[in-house]
Structure 1
Amino acid sequence: MMCFIFEVKKKYLFILFSFITFFQTFSQEKAVKKVVEDFFDAFHVKDTLQLRKMAHDKIVLSTIVSNENKSKMKLENYDDFLNTIVSIPDTVVFLEKIVNYEIKIDTHLAHVWTPYEFYVNGKLSHKGVNSFTLVKEENSWKIVHIIDTMKK
């Protein structure tokens, strides 16, 4: 009888531990996804103060531009990126539509893969994939690297 009770307790502890682990993982994924969603919300309204707050002070930006079987990677300074965002005329409406989110987390490191379509004044300009790397410092997720592909 004692063996049976022990097995039942062990089973419930396993279920409880599995539930807690799932909830923690889901909660972390939700927090990471929110940072990326907030990034695009701020991007679309050209809120460079918010964009700065989400970024780690050592953030790296990279773009891979592909044309006819050739590709070239270019690095961009984050401050230059923010200045470019501010300089977009109000008559230009842009939207980066995220198609999907794939999120991977290991403790204080997260990776978010987001295929996208980029529209300018309602017209498709290009497509690609964003790859965000985030780090958790002091209970806050910060973007440390963004690399994207750009295909016409």
Structure 2
Amino acid sequence: MKYLVFILLTFYSVVISAQNSESNEVKQVILNFFEAFHQQDSTELKKMVTKDIVMQSIGKDQAGKTILNITDFNKFVSSIASIPKENSFEEKLLDFSIQIDGDMANAWTPYEFWYNGSFSHCGVNSFQLMRLNGIWKIIYLVDTRRKTDCKKF
């Protein structure tokens, strides 16, 4: 009986270790994405996504109605690269919640966005990733954006 318990505990430890390793890989892709984002490195940003990535934002229009904005990734990269170097911007990730099933992963990352040292907005990023040839790539990114009701994680 002790032998069976030992085998089950060993198997459970191996499974948990593999899940943690995959979660760390997914988290690192997102951290690398934001490192390239903050450095305005369009070449590195493009390496972390698939060629047909979908980017969307959920927000409110001036009347307070919920809207969905769709952003072309290449235009997004160009806009980031064109921010003048004397301006500072930082998206501070506050937490990570990562789920993985085989070659698909989801990461939920609440954030605060700061521009030139001032709070701009907050929200949540939802990343969908897939593992292609052993490498995690971002296939979909949707975020929310608001200036109030920002949760502290």
Q: TM-score, normalised by structure 2?
A: 0.92
CA distance in 2, matches of 1:123, 1:33: 26
Q: Which amino acid aligns with 2:16?
A: F
Runs of 4 or more consecutive aligned structure 1 residues displaced over 6 Å after TM superposition: none
CA contact 1:66–1:149 (8 Å) conserved in 2: no
Deviations 1:83-124 (A, max 9, x none): 111111112100000111111111111000011000000000
Q: TM-score, normalised by structure 1?
A: 0.93
Q: Which amino acid aligns with 2:33?
A: F
In the TM superposition, what is the alpha-carbon distance from 1:18 to its structure 2 partner? 0.3
Q: CA RMSD in A?
A: 1.0
Residue 4 of structure 1 is matched in structure 2 by: none
CA distance in 1, matches of 2:144, 2:60: 7
Unaligned runs of 5+ in 2: 148-153
CA distance in 1, matches of 2:64, 2:131: 37
Is residue 60 of structure 1 aligned with residue 67 of structure 2? no
Relative to total residues, which structure has the larger helix share, 1 or 2?
1
Is residue 17 of structure 1 aligned with residue 11 of structure 2? yes
Unaligned runs of 5+ in 1: 1-6
Match of 1:34 among 24, 28, 31: 28
Residue 91 of structure 2 is matched in structure 1 by: 96
SS in 1 for 2:3: helix
Residue 107 of structure 1 is matched in structure 2 by: 102
Residue 42 of structure 2 is matched in structure 1 by: 48
CA distance in 2, matches of 1:69, 1:106: 37
Q: Which amino acid aligns with 2:76?
A: F
**Count of matched residue positions in the alignment of Structure 1 and Structure 2:** 146
CA distance in 1, matches of 2:124, 2:36: 19
